[in-house]
Structure 1
Amino acid sequence: MRALTLALMTATASPALAAPCGGDFGSWVAAMKAEAVAAGETPATVDAFFAGANPDPRVLKADRAQGVFRKSFLEFSQSLISKDRLQKGIANASRYGDIFARAEKDYGVSRGILLAFWAFETDFGAVQGDFNTRNALVTLAHDCRRPDLFQPQVLAAIQMHGLGEFDLDTTGAWAGEIGMVQMLPGDILRLGVDGDGDGLVTLKTSAPDAILSGARLLQSHGWRAGEPWLQEVILPDSFDWELTGLDTQLAAEQWAAMGVQVRSGVVANGLPASILLPQGRKGPAFLAYPNYSVLFNWNKSFVYVTTAAYFATRLMGAEPYRAGNPDPALPVAQMKALQQKLAALGHDVGQIDGILGASTRIAVQKEQTRLGLPADAWPTADLLERL
């Protein structure tokens, strides 16, 4: 279900772009062909790759509209996590137990995390996207929004095509990701693993390849072997809400000394952690460890990452979260109005898009503190009115 969040864009390094974005598509293709040949690809391979390639307007439409991430954590998590998906996850953990054991041994990545992303990206391979991958990549590489990210992906796809690992009718997500765990060509070339021993890395059809490649990707982003990522906690009524948020870290045992209680397991003594309140002090609360932040290299959306991290704990045996009774989420129009007010006050909230991302949360918490409100980083109608 990937919506592009610049997560897997670690493609082959590229100097100044050889193919100017925008303008005549045929001229752009000619420039890209020259760049690919200069990089070592044969003219025949390059010509074959671009034969019949066309921009896809559906890709640009999808790129401009990612409203799913405007949902609150409770809405988003309840829409993605079902009894059926949980049961499928447990079944796949058993079916590919030896592969997950390899992922944990070789790359240090928990099966829970890999299962969660496998579930959310493609429903365990069942829904991998119907966009022609080549056309999606050339569309985004020709577009002037992020050519520096996508032109190297086109070059990587050409290289994969020459290796026999990229068919021109390959389909996937609108942003060019391929396979069961939705990786971009540059990442597949750099980090893909032949998990089934057939001599190829085929993430569309091979679960072992997809699982191990995803594990290696997370390891490359700094995943810490043997460490937790998220634990649900219960906070005391007297808790200082200004201490919540990812920009405040204390040792896990320090949080415990303040009365923070984990609902299952024990706190990971010695590890830094933050108190995470996806929907403020009246909703679920979590301890977020360093591995939680690593997941933003997979997807930049706060609500997506938090939901995946939570689902991974469920797959590893954690209880369902205590939903609580948080204040209602602001509608999109009000959230945009809030972001505009915060920006006018000098806060960096990024794009005015109605999405409660990390920078908007930080700004909300600062204004809550200034106004003497509970500083839990959850925007309310009261806060909007006061601003």
Structure 2
Amino acid sequence: MRSTTSLLASAIALSGAVLAASAEAATCRDPRGFDAFLADMKKEATAQGVSPAAAAALDGLTYDPKVISLDQGQHVFKQTFEQFSGRMINASRMKQGALKLKQYASPLSRIEETYGAPGAVIVAIWGLETDFGAVNGDFSTLRSLATLAFDCRRTDKFQAELIDALRLVERGDLPPEAMRGAWAGELGQAQFMPSSYVKYAVDFTGDGKRDLLRNPLDVMASIANYLKAHGWKPGEGWEPDQPNFAAIKEWNAADVYARTIAAFATKLAATQAQ
């Protein structure tokens, strides 16, 4: 079962975009209501180059109070590393992870040659995020992002993510109805925020699509591309006292989660040596 533990931290770590200030900037908790806020978001999106047709994906969205409740109710990162990793690196994930390393040995080798990140780390992240694509989430991405953007706590961040989600629609990566994932706006088997999808998603199979919802090779290559972009050093270690732990922390800033990725990857790497 996929944990919701990484959702907020991934959202914070994976998105560096900041909404540009403009005369059309939408006002959080607009006293005119959610529909008026969305209308201003459409204006802001088109001012930033999104076509009116793509911006129309915001039409008809409704506020989702469940998303705000989930956002306000996170406590899992208060667990110790031993508690958290003990639950996350379970026997089922270990078995599935070892199988994935064997199943995708050839493409993972090519991915490492291209991006530098080894298969054990890529598969560890894939497994911890969505149980290797088994549980990606079923929240409407656009609705979740619009709800979080309407809330005033991190409105600039989520307004920017909402516009990047519209850019994914604009360039044909995903139709609006396919954009379903975690409650904080993460998409696909790697749980990329839209800003990271825009920047780091890879069409590894060469079919003209960067499909992080259904294509495992695109998913794994995109994880590797993200790590490369955040300073991954080929051939170096990834444990907390080693050079590549910093890149893992860029994936998820929560120390217990980053250490769990590293520990899971080390255990998976050991299975390859057997």
State if a TM-score over 0.5 links the two structures.
yes
Q: How many residues align?
A: 260
**Aligned pairs (5 A) from 1:239-258:** none
Q: Does structure 1 conserve the Cα–Cα contact (< 8 Å) formed by 2:94 and 2:268?
A: yes
1:184 aligns with 2:190: no
Task: Pick one of 67, 70, 91 that aligns with 2:78.
Answer: 70
1:117 aligns with 2:125: yes
**Aligned pairs (5 A) from 1:62-211:** 62-169=70-177, 170-211=179-220
CA distance in 1, matches of 2:113, 2:212: 20
CA offset at residue 168 of structure 1? 2.2
Which residue in 2 is equivalent to 1:305? 258
Task: Pick one of 7, 14, 39 that aligns with 1:3.
Answer: 7
Give TM-score scaled by structure 1 length. Answer: 0.65
CA distance in 1, matches of 2:66, 2:174: 22
Instruction: Please say which structure displays the higher CA radius of gyration.
Output: 1
Residue-by-residue CA offset, 1:172-222 (whole Å, 9 max, x unaligned): 111101011110111111111002221011101010111111111111111
CA offset at residue 27 of structure 1? 1.9
AA matched with 1:15? A
AA matched with 1:310? A
CA distance in 2, matches of 1:177, 1:29: 20
Residue-by-residue CA offset, 1:34-88 (whole Å, 9 max, x unaligned): 11111222222212x1122122111111111221212111111111112221111
Task: Pick one of 35, 47, 50 that aligns with 1:38.
Answer: 47
Q: Does structure 1 conserve the Cα–Cα contact (< 8 Å) formed by 2:201 and 2:222?
A: yes
CA distance in 1, matches of 2:207, 2:113: 21
CA offset at residue 124 of structure 1? 0.3
CA RMSD of aligned residues (A): 1.5
Larger RCO: 1 or 2 (CA < 8 Å, sep 6+): 2
CA distance in 2, matches of 1:44, 1:132: 19
Structure 1 gaps, min length 5: 231-286, 319-387
Q: Does structure 1 conserve the Cα–Cα contact (< 8 Å) formed by 2:19 and 2:157?
A: no
Q: Does structure 2 conserve the Cα–Cα contact (< 8 Å) formed by 1:99 and 1:211?
A: no
Corresponding residue SS for 1:223? coil
Q: Does structure 2 conserve the Cα–Cα contact (< 8 Å) formed by 1:179 and 1:204?
A: yes
CA offset at residue 163 of structure 1? 2.1
CA distance in 2, matches of 1:110, 1:303: 21
Give TM-score scaled by structure 2 length. Answer: 0.90
Structure 2 gaps, min length 5: none
CA distance in 1, matches of 2:85, 2:203: 32
Aligned sequence identity (%): 38
Q: Which runs of 4+ in 1 moved over 6 A?
A: none
1:14 aligns with 2:19: yes
Residue-by-residue CA offset, 1:296-345 (whole Å, 9 max, x unaligned): 21112111111111111000007xxxxxxxxxxxxxxxxxxxxxxxxxxx
**Aligned pairs (5 A) from 1:263-342:** 288-317=241-270
Report the structure, 1 or 2, having the larger helix content: 2
**Aligned pairs (5 A) from 1:224-243:** 224-230=233-239
Task: Pick one of 197, 200, 223 that aligns with 1:214.
Answer: 223
